[in-house]
Structure 1
Amino acid sequence: MDFTQWIHDKNSSSHWWFVKRLSANDTGQTDSHQVGIYIPKRLTDNILKHISRTDIKNPDLHLPAKIDSHGMPQQTVRVIYYNSKKHENKPKGRDEQRITQWNTDLSDSPLQDGANTGAIAIFSFELDPNSGQATGINAWICTGLEEENLLESLIGEVLPGELLEERADNLLSGFIPAKQVAKTRLILPEHWRTAFPSGKEIIDYLDENFRFQTTDPDKLLTDRRREEYKLFLEVEKLHVLDQVQAGFQSVDDFISLANSVSNRRKSRSGKSLEIHLEDIFRKFGLTEFGTQCRTEGNKKPDFLFPSCEAYRDNGFNQDKLRMLAVKTTCKDRWRQILNEANRIPYKHLFTLQEGVSENQFREMQDENVILVVPEKLKEKYPKVVQSKILSLKDFINHTKSV
């Protein structure tokens, strides 16, 4: 089936979408006991109320399901709420909802294929017209960048670790619900009320006014991104909420505002990771680097160490050169960095992707790509590769020593 047609078929109020990037845990690459696809509580509270309860242990529901992207036949999956933490009052018990048994009726499910780690998956729940509850699931796993780019052009960037769920027609009309996060403690500058600040302005203001309680670069990156998002949402509220509360004269007016919000969020998320890394490098003493330098074939790697000039100087010892590419996800994008700096044989790649398959990691090794991820994300990678991945702190210290 064509992906565009599939989206068109599901674009209605009778479908509820859950969208995420598959983690190594989802695809069974981490040997975790938590088998199956994790789903958020808001989704079960809305369309799977049968299992959203704590008076019985581990309530479940069986639903028909099909993975349309790979032409799989219909099967039966189990949606279950593991609720021992609340049902049995176990402090260390489980409190999570998952879709399991993808490999029970059928073997070799694409959702349990390590090669799909990092891919965007859409779970489209068909809703009963009377009760509004889920009666079945159609899934689509994006098979490449073309499909991912098409989807993200419609609903915004799908970041690793983020869970996006909403009625399909809302998502596809430009209505992208913000993650539920606590309100920022910072007071917004008065001039932000009249002019929406750039991403760099927001990050600079955060850096000057928020005191982070960590001296670890990996945790600092995670904390900064979280606080930046809180700040961004408050600015967005200043510029959008009044318009929403005032109502709309037409559907076109609503769609215009929704698309404006969507485009701004895409623009913000695309550049913020690089800005945060640039600031963190300087804070931890890695002060010599160039950004967006032009190399062979007019390529522009995200970071070159120690400088653009050093890279262009053929007399400079190439053993002292380093390159860092920055990509929120790397499944189908890591090969893009291979020819960005020909003088540097080993390419470092920073990513937020939650795991890769062992096969893909070996492919990266064969091409001399070295992964760099926040320390906390290492546990989301297969155990056999964790020792071969650098944390952000490792990368900073190693590059400084060179």
Structure 2
Amino acid sequence: MAKQGMLELGESGRVAEEAADGSPLWWTIQALATDSDQLLVKKLARNDTSWADDQGKHQAGLYIPVELRDSGFFPPLEASNPDKPHIFVAGMDVLWPQTGEVTRSNLRHYSNKGPETHLTRLLKDLFRELTPASLFLAGRLTRPTATCSWWAVVLDSAGDEAELLETLLDLPVDFHHGLFRADSFGAARRANQDELEGLIEQFRSAIRNGTLHELVTTYSVIPDPGTIANQARDEWLRANGRDSFDPWQISAPGDAIMKISREIEYRLYRAHELKRRASELLAILVGGADLASTVVRKYPDIDAILLSASQQRKTRAGRSFEHHIAAALTAGNVRFQEQAVTGGRRPDFVLPDLPTLRKKGRDRSDALVLAAKTTLRERWKQVSSEQLNCDVYLATVDDRVAPSAIQEMAGLGIRLVVPELLKSSDEAFYKGQDNVLSFREFFDRSIRSERPALLGPLEH
């Protein structure tokens, strides 16, 4: 690997030096994106990073799908060795702002092995010990700096930068890789431009007419999570030509739950949130002596609005997931009880109900507990502490769970339930794990096959 150290790289090099010295990485990414015309994002699979953790791995790079290889983002491949005409290579100097180093990396394609292509000669340390489903982000500079026409970062999925990138580029739940215009970093992607212009004109009119206070009042209440969840589910049903959220009729119920809660409902919520928070901020800023003094003097109020928005968003996400699981259970005629208090705990779902769970001398398979957490981190340990004499299942849409955590849950008797896409994904670590079921398997095996008594008239 050719490490050229910190070269004289002009503005981009200065940005990289500052990043290496501890400046926030996201600021660096934004600065480099501004100097780029195109961005490449790839969710890292296990084979993309295992070479950095396993010294015995021969491959030393990440896989580049053929559509990215031939997109024009990379330099053209050439077979420059007459003795090996099947080997096509493209060299490229890549700036890594996380360390300030430059590598002479290679895009390498062995045409006798099919379309498979790899980007090699990378910074191994950046690919080590990553959380599953981390992101590789690269940009093509509009004006090469010294020898560099490309830059790249690796964003651990457990970090804030990965979440920011996913939000900013509006990455879908089934995202694997893609190319984006660099100005996506400054574009409003969550709402239709016509809708945004209409909202802006509405605010301008209210300011001119002195009716901003009334508009703030109109937008002050965001519909409750249940209402937005129902709207999102109805939108999914219409788009898929269905009239019921019956999990027995949906081939991949987990994928449906994930798409509705993480994409459709989030989009609907953000539209309501934009109206409310924008009107609140305008009410603070409009009418001040001048914008600078108003922002400085009213900063505590502005900060309180932004903090409230962040907290409400996080609270809504978890409850949203539960709403859609409950809707699937109800539509599937599965007997369950929500938020039943037992032993000082409040499991999300008890199947079939709390009296059955508490019944002395019952068979262990007569009941089960299903907890729901959109993201796990260490919170899954709250589930393991329950001594309920029944099987415990934990539903999640989190693709960042490490193999060690999955095995630890298995040792504690916790079975994970994940969307079908995540169960088969090469980027998550659920494939081949005995204690991980897809939602399809949970409904078919854990309910219909192993506990048919759970199917029947709902008693709640």
**TM-score of the pair, normalised by structure 1:** 0.60
Of stretches 264-273 and 204-213 in structure 1, the one that deviates more from structure 2 is 204-213
- For residue 393 of structure 1, the aligned residue among 440, 445, 448 is 440
- The CA RMSD measured in Å over matched residues stands at 5.9
Report 1:53-72 matches (<5 A): 61-65=92-96
**Residue 279 in 1 paired to residue 294 in 2?**
no
SS in 2 for 1:370: strand
> What is the aligned partner in structure 2 of residue 117 from structure 1?
132
CA contact 2:257–2:325 (8 Å) conserved in 1: yes
Identity %: 17
After superposition, residues 187-226 of structure 1 pair within 5 angstroms as 193=219, 195-207=221-233, 211=238, 212-213=240-241, 215-216=249-250, 217-225=253-261, 226=263
Question: 8 Å contact 1:355–1:380 — kept in the other structure?
Answer: no
Partner of 1:232: 269
Question: Does structure 1 conserve the Cα–Cα contact (< 8 Å) formed by 2:41 and 2:137?
Answer: yes
Q: Is the 8 A contact 1:63 1:79 kept in 2?
A: no
Cα deviation for residue 261 of structure 1 reads 4.8
What SS does the aligned partner of 2:393 have?
strand
Give deviations 1:13-50, integer Å, cap 9, x for gaps: 63559999855465459x9x9x73889x9xx9xxxx98
Question: In structure 1, the residue corresponding to 2:424 is in which secondary structure?
Answer: helix
Deviation at 1:323, TM superposition (A): 1.8
CA 1:18–1:308 in 2, change beyond 3 Å: closer, same or farther? farther
Q: Distance in 2 between matches of 1:182 and 1:387?
A: 47
Deviation per CA, 1:318-344, whole angstroms, max 9, x where unpaired? 3322122223344654444211x2124
Does the CA contact (< 8 Å) of 2:410 and 2:435 recur in 1?
no
Distance 2:351 2:232 in 1: 26
Q: Is the 8 A contact 1:324 1:349 kept in 2?
A: yes
Alignment-derived partner of residue 90 in structure 1 = none
Say if 1:183 and 1:276 are closer, same or farther in 2 by CA, change over 3 A: farther
Gaps of 5+ in 2: 1-18, 34-38, 52-56, 79-87, 110-114, 196-216, 243-248, 452-460
Per the alignment, do residues 363 and 258 of structure 1 end up closer, same or farther by CA in structure 2, a change over 3 Å counting? closer
Q: Hey, what's the Cα distance between the residues in 2 that align with 1:202 and 1:287?
A: 24
- In 2: Cα distance, 1:360 partner to 1:78 partner: 35
Question: Counterparts of 1:178 and 1:223 in 2: how far apart (Å)?
Answer: 18
* Partner Cα separation in structure 1 for residue 224 and residue 47 of structure 2: 36
Higher-Rg member (1/2): 2
Give the C-alpha shift of residue 161 in structure 1.
Answer: 5.7
Name which structure has the greater RCO, CA cutoff 8 Å, separation 6+: 1
Q: How much has 1:263 moved relative to structure 2? A: 4.3
Residues 362, 242 of structure 1: alpha-carbon distance in 2 compared, 3 angstrom cutoff: closer
**Which residue is equivalent to 2:354?**
308
Return the offset for 1:370: 1.7
Distance 1:367 1:14 in 2: 46
State the number of aligned residues. 351
Q: Distance in 1 between matches of 2:405 and 2:27?
A: 34
Which residue is equivalent to 2:410? 365
Alpha-carbon deviation of 1:284?
1.1
Structure 2 contact 126–154 (Cα < 8 Å) conserved: no
Amino acid in structure 1 at the alignment position of 2:369: M
**Structure 2: which amino acid aligns with 1:323?**
V
Task: Note the residue ranges of structure 1 that are not aligned, 5 or more in a row.
Answer: 83-92, 185-190
Does the 8 Å CA contact 2:377/2:401 hold for their aligned counterparts? yes
Change (3 A) 1:11 1:268: same
